[in-house]
Amino acid sequence: MRRFAVLWGVFALLTACGASGEATQDTGEYGDIHLPDAWLPDGTGTDAVADARPDGPSDLPFADGADDTSEASDPGADASIPGDLGPDPALGDPGSDAAHDIDPEVAPPVDIGADGTEEPDWDGLFDPVPIRDPATAECTFTNHRTAFKDGVLLDVWNVSYRSWESRDGTLHPIRIRGFAARPTGTTTLPGVVQAHGLGGYAEESHATGTAALLGTFVLAFTGPGGGTTPENTSEGLASGHAGGYRMFDTVPDPRGSWFWAHAVAGLRGLTCLQARGDVDAQRLGMTGFSAGGVVTLIGAAVDDRIRAAVPLSASGAWDVAVQAPKAWQHSLLTLAGLTSDSPQWTTLIDTIDSSRLLHATQSKILMVNGSSDEFFPLTAHDATFAAIPGDTKRTSLVGNFDHGCYTVLAPEPRETIEGRVEIAAKGGQRMWFSHAFGTDADFAYVPMPPGNLTFTKVGDVWVAHVLVDGGGSKLSVDQVRLWASTDAKYWLSLELESKGSGIYGTKDKEFVPQNPATLVYFVDVTYKTGGLIRPHRFSISSRPSLPAGHVPTILDISSCL
């Protein structure tokens, strides 16, 4: 009891210091608040978490040194110029891998849905007919080569295909570029599309790292207006176009939002994978971090081809998120000249926010999120999770992880937090896709979330007990922890021990010193496979318990305080 009480006192002090202390930017490996290595299977850390970098609000949507508000970095900034659908010289000879290329004659640019054009009319926001048409996608897989990644020999390609964006209510074709990779061999594999965050872009290592981790065919694409080189730069208006207004450009056409265009670009990537003879069209999935996770949720909601989805550090229910005054959306709306009362914002919520769409999903979804995420707080996370029907869903919550501020100020060492991220993200991706695709017998059974958590008052403190799924014959329980917080900003945890019959409870002389009804809390269970050498680990959490009317205390994205 004494040890936890002391920790709780330190926690209270840290919370108080967080309100008045001065944050300093870490100059170490993650000093620029790029995506931690643990989130990326390739270990490059180059995808964008700098949605929350502490440089100041003007940098919020951007990362990797690219200021997305710059017209010079926006290939589609001139809205009067349709995307160029001509030859793609940067990608090499389209016929260099003729066995896999889909290379029909490229047609001149056309507006989609206009009367008299050669394209079908668009029916609804996410019309499956044009999205799934491989002929109009004009997918090319070129510049075939091999690479060795994480002990796996891979085939690698440059990828180019056609998608759309809406400008002033009219759809225009744009060229999307990226990379693809798969383990070498003739086996037909599942296919996974990987999406990046705001200000990010596709890199070859994104495709190769995920392909090596999952053993699948992976397509990593750059969303509209992003990129750094000819081979990974996509056409269209970037997310930061017009001060970031592009993200909220939903009036008169909700498809004007960059999030719509990013999501459709991902679904068109699925179309390219589906058309390949070495991809199993019945086993397709999607994953992504931050804005990539946002469009993964959207895709899983609207496209029944997605059998499995793993959104990382993302949620819908942004109307719930903005209940917190410091929510990141407020800063982005201000930069765009809007507020949460603007029709552009309310239209975005009503039409594109995944929490409004997920009721019809047929996908198995694993939501991975940090307990302190300043972009996607637990209230929004839980509202999104609740919108997913059925029980073919799980969540994995990472204690004291957020969207980058943990590298500036956190109640425990950064390396400790990132170790948990490794288990939840990479371990979660491996487990979830292997389970959904049937590619690894170790993950044939996915444990149920911990449940029936009870607190019993003993004097002035509380003891906890929870029912934990043992994991079946292929898995074993590695660790069970109860996480608790007064504000969902900084967290403490207790390791629970087995009491027999699947019950785990607080250890002797360790208690919860505060009424649980006043706390935010969840239980997280780490499982491991039976391998003697480097067993695989992943975690499954309970849904967070939130006091009635709770609004998380969100870290300020300009100072991380």
Q: Say how far apart CA 453 and CA 185 lie, in whole Å.
A: 47
Residue 250 and residue 344 in contact, taking contact as beta carbons nearer than 8 Å = yes
Q: Is 129 exposed, middle or buried (0-12, 13-18, 19+ CB in 10 A)?
A: exposed
Quick check: helix, strand or coil at residue 191?
Answer: strand
- Domain membership flag for residue 551: no
Domain of residue 141, CATH code = 3.40.50.1820
Q: C-alpha angle 303/306/311, rounded to 5°?
A: 100
Supply the range of the domain harboring residue 314: 37-443
- Domain membership flag for residue 458: no
Q: Cα–Cα distances in Å, from 458 out to 78, 387, 461? A: 68, 37, 5
Q: Which amino acid is at 103?
A: D
Tokens 């017998």, located at residue? 441
- Domain membership flag for residue 15: no
Residue 382 and residue 543 in contact, taking contact as beta carbons nearer than 8 Å = yes
What residues contact 282, with CB distance under 8 A and at least 6 apart? Answer: 307
Predicted TM-score (pTM) of this structure: 0.83
- Domain membership flag for residue 215: yes
What residues contact 147, with CB distance under 8 A and at least 6 apart? Answer: 153, 154, 156, 181, 204, 208
- Domain membership flag for residue 129: yes
Helix axis angle for 258-274 and 291-302, nearest 10°, is 60
pLDDT in tens, the chain (561 residues): 434 443 444 333 333 333 323 322 222 222 222 333 322 223 333 333 233 222 222 222 222 222 332 333 333 333 322 333 433 433 333 333 333 333 332 333 333 333 333 444 788 999 999 999 999 999 999 999 999 999 999 999 999 999 999 999 999 999 999 999 999 998 999 999 999 999 999 999 999 999 999 999 999 999 999 999 999 999 999 999 999 999 999 999 999 999 999 999 999 999 999 999 999 999 999 999 999 999 999 999 999 999 999 999 999 999 999 999 888 899 999 999 999 999 999 999 999 999 999 999 999 999 999 999 989 999 999 999 999 999 999 999 999 999 999 988 888 999 999 999 999 999 999 999 999 999 999 999 999 999 999 999 999 999 999 999 999 999 999 999 999 999 999 999 999 999 999 999 999 999 999 999 999 999 999 999 997 788 999 999 999 999 999 999 988 878 888
Residue 425 and residue 288 in contact, taking contact as beta carbons nearer than 8 Å = no
- Domain membership flag for residue 413: yes
Q: Say how far apart CA 283 and CA 100 lie, in whole Å.
A: 19
Q: How many domains does the chain have?
A: 1
- Domain membership flag for residue 311: yes
- Domain membership flag for residue 542: no
Tokens 């996915």, located at residue? 446
Q: Say how far apart CA 46 and CA 37 lie, in whole Å.
A: 8
Quick check: helix, strand or coil at residue 470?
Answer: coil
Query: Which tokens belong to 62?
Result: 């951007």
